[in-house]
Homo-oligomer: A and B are copies of this chain.
């Protein structure tokens, strides 16, 4: 379900996208509304699941130097169970079912090639129904942002 978002909602989200620690007081001043309005809007958006406060770590700074996208071909009927298992690995950042050559595409981060080889040959090998797992290794990152376009919804 798409949420109805008015202009104030959109402005609040844009400010928090810039800085997730921005204070409600500061937002209220910028938008010329009361701090109570900001608070109630944010609480409603959080409750509806429109956004959440998180932190984004730089993987290279915490020693996760091997960053990969893995395309997985599954046997028909095994996609849901495989995706559920992949969900449990802390190395796995993103999993989705996709149209096209690969049924599942996942993004994962490892300390080194040895950990990646173990993940493929020890962990993925335990999951039934994987036909192929094609690894692409990230050579250089240009963008990794969560600042989506936001527009009024009605």
- The interface of chain A, by Cβ under 8 A from chain B, is 1-3, 5, 13, 16-17, 19-21, 48-65, 67-69, 73, 76-77, 79-80, 83-84, 86-87, 90-102, 104-106, 109, 111, 113-114, 116-117, 120-122, 124-127, 130-151, 153
Contact = CB atoms under 8 A, between A and B. Distances in A.
B130 A54 contact: no
Contacts of A17: 54-55, 57
B77 A140 contact: no
B136 A55 contact: no
Copies of this chain, how many?
Answer: 8
Nearest to A84: B142
B130 A76 contact: yes
Interface centre among A63, A102, A109, A139 (most CB of B within 10 A): A139
A91 B143 CA distance: 12
Nearest to A75: B125
